[in-house]
Amino acid sequence: MGRKYKNPPVVEAVCEFRLSQNTPWDLTVPGIFYEKIREHFPHREQRVASEVELAHEPQSFQQRIRTFEHILLLSEDRKRIVQLGPRLLVINVLRPYPTWQGFKPIIEKVWKILLEIVEVKGLERIGLRYINEIKIPEQTFEPEEYFEFYPYIGKGLPQKLASFIVGAEFLYEGEDDRCRLQLTPAIGGNALILDIDYFLTNLQNVNSEWVMDWIEKAHSRVEEIFEGCITDKLRAMFEEAS
């Protein structure tokens, strides 16, 4: 069990499922899904999204932009969002973060409803991502006072930064799991964004119990990474709960 804070910096938590291409999908899925979940997510919106695909062609790779429609299902307060598109399911919760005990049951319920409708053959990706906005009270500060993960600038370089980006990708479980970590300044204001994305790719033999066990493990790893990134000075700002 990780530390609990009275003022957690989480602005958004995301759980993503990308289904394998051999998973059957048709135009009736969104409507059936909505009817099963509308009690908790009554507001429905239609969106068009796009993503870049790399297509392998003889002697070259070609970039293609693929557009697709997906639906957004929102809770009454619009702080809980389910996105459903072709072989894609994403669950978002926005600030105020409802704690893991509040977020995990939403993931489990939505995932099980999808399994009632679709025969999931496999997953191309499953991920748990936490986006943290960390506001620093001082206008100027030394990153090492607050962070254990920050840009190192050698003495031979200018010491005044206009901006920066720090990133790393860590391997877990014999390289099956990965955690992508990134620290950047927020746009406007004296804050930093700490983005933690723990994910697994190319998962076959899917079953609901295993997936939820993996998500629980992923959450524990995200907590470990988060605590490894910050100092006691930040912990004091977040006010640890007893």
Would you state the pLDDT for residue 241?
Answer: 84
Per-residue pLDDT at 54 exceeds 60: no
Would you state the pLDDT for residue 182?
Answer: 97
Higher model confidence: residue 11 or residue 136?
11
What are the φ and ψ backbone dihedral angles of 191, each rounded to 5 degrees? -145, 160
Q: What is the 8-class DSSP label of residue 173?
A: G
The C-alpha atoms of residue 85 and residue 68 are separated, in whole angstroms, by 8
Per-residue pLDDT at 63 exceeds 80: no
The C-alpha atoms of residue 149 and residue 193 are separated, in whole angstroms, by 12
Would you state the pLDDT for residue 17?
Answer: 96
The C-alpha atoms of residue 107 and residue 175 are separated, in whole angstroms, by 25
**Mean per-residue pLDDT over the chain, rounded:** 89
Per-residue pLDDT at 231 exceeds 70: yes
Would you state the pLDDT for residue 204?
Answer: 73
Would you state the pLDDT for residue 61?
Answer: 60
91 near 81, Cβ under 8 Å?
Answer: yes
138-177 pLDDT, tens per residue? 877 788 899 999 888 888 998 887 788 999 999 998 778 9
**Long-range contact set of residues 107-116: C-beta below 8 Å, sequence gap at least 24:** 107/15, 107/212, 107/215, 108/212, 109/40, 110/37, 110/82, 111/17, 111/208, 111/211, 111/212, 112/208, 113/33, 113/36, 113/37, 114/17, 114/33, 114/89, 115/208, 116/36
